[in-house]
Amino acid sequence: MSAPPASPPLVSIVDVHKHFGGFHALKGVSLDVMPGEVMCIIGASGSGKTTLLRCINQLVEIDRGAIWVDGELTGFRVDGGRLHHLAEAEIARQRLATGMVFQRFNLFPHMTALENIIEGPVQVQRRRRAEAVEEARALLARVGLADKEASYPANLSGGQQQRVAIARALAMKPKLMLFDEPTSALDPELVGEVLAAMKELAASGMTMIVVTHELGFAREVADRVVYMDGGLIVEAGTAADVLNSPREARTRAFLSAVLS
Amino acid sequence: MTPASAPMGARMATGSAALPDVSGYSIVPQRHWGRWLAVAAIALLLAGLVRAFAVGQIEWDYVARFFTAPTILSGLFNTVVMSVGAMALGIALGIAAAVMRMSHNPVLRGVAIGYAWLFRGTPVILQLLLWFNLALIFPTIGFGEWSWRTVDVMTPAVAALLGLGINQGAYTSEVMRAGMLSVDQGQYEAAKAIGMTRMRSLRRIVFPQAMRVIIPPLGNEFIGMIKLTSLASVIQFAEILHSAQNIYYANSRVIELLIVAAIWYLIIVTILTPGQMLLERRFARGAGGSR
C-alpha cells in the first residue's frame, strides 16, 4: 500500500525533543510517514510513543525540532530566520488535518452519538447541519452503529464508544488519523470490533499512525512498524522485519516480554 | 444438586426437611413507636406556638390588609428584579473571572485573583455604601463632552445592582471554577482535536457539562441573593423590606409588616426550588445511563 516514491511524505518529523520538567521524553526523533501508509508505533510505557503522537497534532508542544504535516510546519511561522509561535486559531486550523482517537474515548457525554459526530463539522467547519447529519449517519453505518445514533455515550459499551469516536474523527475529513492506544481501555471481548473498524479504515487508504500494544494488528495491517524506547526510535521497518526478525537486542527483549 | 428450575418450596420440602417452610407467610411492617412519640411532641409544641401568636399582640387583619398593598407589591417587584439583575451580573462576572483564573495568561489570572480578594474581603453593606456615595470621590463620571453628575447616575437602584452584582461575581467565580475543574481533561483534548479554540470548547463542551456541578450551589446563591437585596434598604432602594419599613414608620404596625415581608420572601424562595430541579434535570442529559 506504500505510495509511489515520488510523492512527498504526509508527515515529516525532524529531530524532535520534548522535556516534561526534568524528564526528557523525546530525545531527537525523526520519522517520515507517506500518504496512505499505516504505521504502528510499539514500545513500553514511558518510551515516548504517546508523546510523539500528541506532538503531531499539537496537544503537546515540542521543545526543539520540527513537525511538518501535509507540507505545513506545525505550531510555528518562519519569519526572518526565526520561528514564531502561531496564534491559537491557526493551531486549531492546523489540527483539522488530523483526526485523533484517544485511549479513553473522550466522547462528549452530554451529546448523543450523532451529536458527537456532527459537533466538529457544524460548529468548527461551519457546514450545513443537514449535510453533516447525513454524513454522520453514513459514518455510523460504516462503523456498524447505524442504530445507535440517539444513544448517549453512557449507554454504549466501550467498543461502541470507541467506534463512535473513530466516526467523530472521520467526520472532519482528516488527511491523517492518529490512534493513541485505542484498545487499551477496552474489555478483551470488545477489542476485535474496534480493530475491525480500523482495518476497514486502513483498507480504504487512510494514512494512519497507531500507537498500540496489539502486535497482531500491527503484523496484519501495518506497512511499517516503529519500536521506541527511552524517547528514541530504536528500530523501524516493515512489520515482518521488526516483529519477526528484529535487528536490535532491545527490540527482541521487548517482543519476547510482550509475547511470553 | 437442585435443578435451577425447581421451585423454592419444593426444595425446602425435599432438601432440608428440618427447616420450616415460611414461603406462604406475610411480612408484618416494623412499628416505629419513637416516631409517633416525636410527632405527638411536635404537634403539641406547634399548637402552643400557634396559640401564643394568636393571643399575642399581632393584629392579623393588618397583615392581611397590607399583604397586597401597592407599596408592598412594588417593593416585591423591585426585590425580584434586583435579585435577577444582580445575579445575572454576578454570573456574567463570575464566568469571566473563572475563565481568566484558568487562563495561561498570568496577567489575567492575577486580575481574577485580585477581584475575588477585594470583593470577598469586604462586607457587602460597606460596598453598597461605597457605590452609593461614589459622588464623594468622583463628582462627575465620563469623558469630556459625555459626562454626567455622579449623583444622577448612581441612583439607589444602580448602586444596589453594582454593589450586589459585583460582590456576587466574586463568589460565583469560585462556583464556576469548581464546575470547570470537574470536567475531565480528556474533554478539553477531544475538543481541541476536532479543531476547537479554547473559547469554543468552553462554550460547547465544558460549560454544558460543568452545569451539573454548578447549578446546585448557584441555586443556593440565588436564594441568598433574594435575601441579600434587603441590605439595599440602607441605601434607600425600595425593595420589599424597605417598603415594609416605610409603612410601619407611618402606622407603627412593626411586627405585622415584618410578617408581611417574611411571608413574601418565603413565597419567592418556595417558587424557586422546583425551578432549580427542572434546570438540574435539563443538564443531567446523558449522565449515568439516564434515558
Assign B13 a pLDDT band (cuts: 50, 70, 90). Answer: low
In sequence order, the β-bridge partners of residue A211 are A41, A180
Q: What is the mean pLDDT of residues A22-27?
A: 94
Is the pLDDT assigned to residue A1 strictly greater than 70?
no
What is the three-class DSSP state of A178? strand
Q: What is the mean pLDDT of residues B3-14?
A: 50
pLDDT in tens, B149-178: 888 888 999 999 999 999 999 999 999 999
Assign B289 a pLDDT band (cuts: 50, 70, 90). Answer: very low
Q: What is the mean pLDDT of residues A144-149?
A: 95
CB contacts of A109 in chain B (<8 Å) are: 209, 286-287
Per DSSP, the residues of B174-219 read HHHHHHHHHS-HHHHHHHHHTT--HHHHIIIIIHHHHHHHHHHHHH
pLDDT in tens, A94-125: 999 999 999 999 999 999 999 999 999 999 99
Task: Say if A18 is an interface residue toward chain B (CB within 8 Å).
Answer: no
pLDDT in tens, B190-226: 999 999 999 999 999 999 999 989 999 999 999 999 9
Nearest 5°: the CA angle B289, B290, B291 is 110
CB contacts of A59 in chain B (<8 Å) are: 189, 192-193
Best mutation target, A91, A102, A108, A172, to test chain B (most B CBs within 10 A): A108
The whole-number pLDDT of residue B121 equals 95
Spatial strand order of the sheet with A11-20 comes to A23-33, A11-20, A64-69, A72-73
C-alpha cell, B56:
399575642
Is the pLDDT assigned to residue B14 strictly greater than 80?
no
Complex prediction ipTM: 0.92
Mark yes or no for CB contact A155/B291 under 8 Å.
yes
The whole-number pLDDT of residue B146 equals 81
Beta carbon pairs, A and B, within 8 Å: 78
Q: How far apart are CA B163 and CA A56, in angstroms?
A: 49
Q: How far apart are CA A52 and CA A40, in angstroms?
A: 12
